[in-house]
Amino acid sequence: MDTFLQQLVNGVTLGSVYAIVALGYTMVYGIIQLINFAHGEVVMLGAMVAYSVIVALAGAGGALPPLAILAIATLTAIPVCMVVGYLLERVAYRPLRRAPRLAPLITAIGLSIVLQNIALIIWTRNPLPYPQVIATVPYRLTATPDGATITNVQIGIIGLSIVMMAGLLLLVYRTRFGVAMRAVAQNPQVAGLMGIDINRIISATFALGAALAAVAGVMDASYYGVAHYQMGFLLGLKAFSAAVLGGIGNLAGAMLGGLLMGMIEALGAGYVGELTNLCHLSGWSDALAQRCVNDPHLELFGSNYQDVFAFVVLILVLVFRPSGLLGERVSDRA
């Protein structure tokens, strides 16, 4: 029970990070039907920029309280990522808006490689030990000693994610900008005729997604304690899968999908191995039973397939319910 609870806590924390990144994918997709492949790299850049700021501030005397250091670092990373997000759209996607679908996808992959290698040049290939400015304090969840715990960092990540999601929903559904965004998403031509500056709205969407990505990057790196130049790619792909799971283009869907994806990974890595252990079938075959005496972990799938779970979910969703859990859009409108 404690193990299960702990896995759930792990999953929700990871899921919160996925959800924030997934929002970036889903907003961009909702508005121009483009998978911003380089979004994961923006997450990475966020973590990296914040890393440099933290190291500089912590080294400069350390008079600042830890929370302030983290806040300053994040607040520096956000505008940097917003500029990167804006530039991505301006330089690489906007000129290709009318090109065949293949074109922006290929540029997106190219940009992803470019950003990774630029980060590599600046921050080296070594995994950077992310400074632990906030001391981790575990809180016990159950009465058992050594049982499931939740740390202050985990609570912070989950809390911050909720605040950001609520803020985003307010922005999209309660402001003029939000109305304009939704209008462009629904029908850009008509929105343009209504006097909305489509390009500006699209740029703003990219920048907004990038800002969220920056925060997600800081959260992820400080939670796991390590950052490196390739951290964004897989994270981005999983978050994208989460967005698809929830229904791409749908904000609530991205949040739900992110949380689910986090839990699928944690519980999958934790339990699939045990469930697919062939030794459960020992009763059926003597040969198997004999092998199991020697090797009780004959697991067909285990934690080694942790990265596969996200892709399997993605494929299953696309095949059986392309619109995702909450989406109304049909994915294959050619």
Partner 1 sequence: MRPIHTIGLTVVAAAIVSLYGCGKEEPKQAAAPRTETAAAAPAAAPAAETITVKIGSAGPLTGEIAHLGKDNDNGVRLAIDQANEKKIKLGGKTVTFEVLSEDDQADPKLGPTIAQKLADAKAAGVVGHLNSGVTIPASAVYNQAGIPMISGSATNPKLTEQGFKDIFRIVGRDDQQGPAVAQYLESMKIKKVAIADDATAYGEGLANEVEKTLKAAGVNVVAREKTNDKATDFKAILTKIKGRNPDAVFYGGMDATGGPMLKQARELGIKAVFSFGDGACTDTMKKLAGDKNAEGFICSQAGLPVVAASKGFLDAYKAKYKVDPIIYAPFTYDAANLLIAAMQKADSPDPAKYLPDLQKISYDGATGHIEFDDKGDRKLAEITIFTMKDGKLDPIAVVKGGKSVAFADFMKAADAGTPSASTTAPAKADEAKK
Partner 2 sequence: MNHSAPGMKTSVAAPLAQPLPGVRRPATAWIGIVLLAVALAVLPFVLTGIGTAWVRITNLAILYCFLALGLNIVVGFAGLLDLGYIAFYGVGAYTYALLASPHFGLHLPFWIILPIGALIACLFGVLLGAPTLKLRGDYLAIVTLGFGEIVRIFLNNLSRPFNLTNGAQGITLIDPFRIDGFTFGKPHTIGSLVVSTPVNYYYFLLIVLVAVIVLNLRLQNSRVGRAWEAIREDEIAARAMGINTRNMKLLAFAMGASFGGIAGGMFSAMQQFISPESFVLVESIMVLSMVVLGGMGNVFGVIVGALLLSYVPEVLRYTVGPAQMALFGRTLIDPEVIRMLMFGLALVLMMLFRPAGILPSAVRKREFETARRPGNGQGTP
Residues that bind partner 2 (CB under 8 A): 32-35, 92, 95-107, 109-114, 116-118, 120-121, 188-189, 198, 237, 240-241, 244, 278, 295, 298-300, 304-305, 307-308, 310-312, 314-315, 318-319, 322, 331-334
Nearer to partner 1, 1 or 330 (CB): 1
Site string for partner 1, 262-291 (x = CB under 8 A): ---xxxxxx--x------------------
CB 243 within 8 Å of CB 33: no
Q: How far is the CB of 70 from partner 2 (least distance, A)?
A: 31
Q: How far is CA 126 from the centre of its chain?
A: 22
Nearer to partner 2, 262 or 324 (CB): 324
Enter the tokens of residue 317.
Answer: 């969703």
102 makes contact, choosing from partner 1, partner 2, none, with CB < 5 to 8 Å by partner type, with partner 2
Q: Which residue has the tokens 């605040």?
A: 163
116 lies in the binding site for partner 1 (CB under 8 A): no
Q: How far is the CB of 213 from partner 2 (least distance, A)?
A: 18
Nearer to partner 1, 3 or 186 (CB): 3
Residues 6+ apart with CB under 8 A from 277: 296, 297, 298, 299, 300
Q: Which of 40, 47, 97, 91 is nearest to 70 (CA)?
A: 47
According to CB under 8 A, which one of 52, 151, 276, 331 is a site residue for partner 1?
A: 151
Residue span binding partner 1 (CB under 8 A) among the ranges 64-72, 106-114, 158-166, 228-236: 228-236
According to CB under 8 A, which one of 146, 287, 319, 333 is a site residue for partner 1?
A: 146
Residues 6+ apart with CB under 8 A from 297: 273, 277, 279
Concatenated DSSP letters of 241-304: HHHHHH-TT-HHHHHHHHHHHHHHHHHIIIIIHHHTBGGGGGGG-HHHHHHHHH-S--BSS-GG
Q: How far is the CB of 50 from partner 2 (least distance, A)?
A: 23
How far apart CA 156 and CA 66 sit, in angstroms, is 14
Q: 3-class DSSP state for residue 200? A: helix
331 lies in the binding site for partner 1 (CB under 8 A): no
Nearer to partner 2, 156 or 322 (CB): 322
Concatenated DSSP letters of 91-118: IIIGGGTTS-THHHHHHHHHHHHHHHHH
How far apart CA 182 and CA 199 sit, in angstroms, is 14
Q: How far is the CB of 314 from partner 1 (least distance, A)?
A: 18
How far apart CA 267 and CA 149 sit, in angstroms, is 16
Please report, as ranges, the residues that interact with partner 1 according to CB under 8 A: 2-3, 6-7, 10-11, 14, 124-127, 129, 132, 136, 138, 146, 149, 151, 220, 224-226, 228-231, 234, 265-270, 273, 294, 296-297, 299, 302-304, 306-307
